[in-house]
Chains A and B, each alone.
Chain A
């Protein structure tokens, strides 16, 4: 069964204190791994898509990396506005079917000043 597990469930950081969020996955035929940010009461906001092991993408203070079994979202020198829930999702399978995303439960990040 395709599965996505994120850790930790919650993370509290001081402003400027860098850290990493983990997403481990078990899928049959990975088409892509996605990172989203979700603010309370809002829909997921797209951050990154990674396709193959070794791939890295960056956006401001965020950097996503991918291995064959897991992905990391590194947050460098976070600010209070980075506080949100970060969701990891995978897309598995091939063809027209298999476009659905399978989400993890997310990591809720709180950054205090």
Chain B
């Protein structure tokens, strides 16, 4: 079965550094998302992306965050200057229909 692939699985960075989290969505999907889950808390929506532009974003997704689809297969989340509170599991997701949203296995980001 096709799956959403995320790399790396773990990322450790120093506070203030830039990080890029990478995702390869399922190939025929058109809608792409980033969610995050802080340890012990709810899965939270960050941003949705369709037709090469952001369609919706949450209050969490401030100017420090950006997304890009640099080619036909990759979808990236960049955090410009990481903070301690950015430590979380980041999930990429994609869908073709409204019925099913498929999630990747996540990137565990640790900011020291």
A-side residues, CB < 8 A to B, are 31-32, 34, 36, 41-46, 49, 87, 89, 91, 96-106
Contacts and interface: CB of A to CB of B under 8 A. Distances in A.
B91 interface: yes
A100 B58 contact: yes
A104 B45 contact: no
Nearest to A49: B99
Report whether over half of chain B's contact residues are helix, strand or loop; otherwise say mixed.
strand
Contact of B101 (A101, A102, A105): A101
Given A34-B101, A100-B45, A101-B35, 17 more contacts: A32-B98, A36-B103, A41-B106, A41-B108, A43-B106, A44-B103, A46-B100, A46-B103, A49-B99, A87-B43, A96-B56, A99-B48, A100-B33, A101-B45, A103-B44, A104-B42, A106-B42
A98 B56 CA distance: 7
Nearest to B44: A103
B56 A100 contact: yes
B103 A43 contact: yes
Would you list the 5 A-B pairs with minimal beta carbon distance, nearest first? A43-B103, A100-B45, A103-B43, A97-B56, A49-B99
B31 interface: yes
16 contacts: A32-B99, A36-B103, A43-B91, A43-B103, A43-B104, A44-B103, A46-B102, A49-B99, A96-B55, A99-B31, A99-B98, A100-B48, A100-B56, A104-B42, A105-B41, A106-B42
Nearest to B104: A43
Contact of A103 (B4, B42, B48): B42
Contacts of A106: 42
B48 to A, nearest CB: 6
A67 B106 CA distance: 32
Contacts of A103: 42-44
